[in-house]
Amino acid sequence: MPKFPDLDAFDRAILAILQRDNTTPQRAIGEAVNLSAPAVQRRIRRMEERGVIRANVALVDPAKVGHPITIFVEVEVESERAELIDAAKRGFAAVPEVQQCYYVTGEADFILVVTVATMADYEALTRRLFFENNNVKRFRTFVAMDRVKVGMEVPVG
């Protein structure tokens, strides 16, 4: 059985190129994978329609736009009732400083990746997100000292 049942070798090769640089011209992608530019375009469109390609975005360096501090936060909630978990998911997802939010197993219920300009901004954020939320039991903060590897590339080969 193929590793990706809906993706053939051409699709995987196209995805590998697009994940490195989604501005690569379709002509260049076609040359790299031995397909015509129109065939590449059809395959990309199909992968977008099927949700394999979720977005075409720019990866921005947080420090260069005034958010040099990256913080990881473990959040433990009081109650794991479905409606309260759903409310927490919506609340975290709505905050611009929260880059990523994961609902996880283990001691913590959520792991957040947050970027802020200053620690004072983070303190204000903790008041809004955690201290004013009756369902947050506790949270732990880990401040990143260095961004060693950051990316969203998914292995497709």
Which residues, listed in sequence order, are joined to residue 76 by a DSSP beta bridge? Answer: 138
Q: Residue 127: is its pLDDT beyond 60? A: yes
Residue 62, token pair as written in the block:
């947080």
The model carries a pTM of: 0.88
**First-to-last CA distance in the chain?**
15
What pLDDT sits at residue 157? 80
Q: Residue 145: is its pLDDT beyond 60? A: yes
68-126 per-position pLDDT tens digit: 999 999 999 999 999 999 999 999 999 999 999 999 999 999 999 999 999 999 999 99
13-48 per-position pLDDT tens digit: 999 999 999 999 999 999 999 999 999 999 999 999
Which helix H or strand E contains 74, and what residues bound it? strand 69-77
For residue 13, is it left (φ>0), alpha (ψ between -120 and 50) or beta?
alpha
* Burial class (CB within 10 angstroms; exposed 0-12, middle 13-18, buried 19+) of 115: buried
Interhelix angle 37-49/9-20, rounded to 10 degrees, is 90
3-state class (DSSP) for residue 55: coil
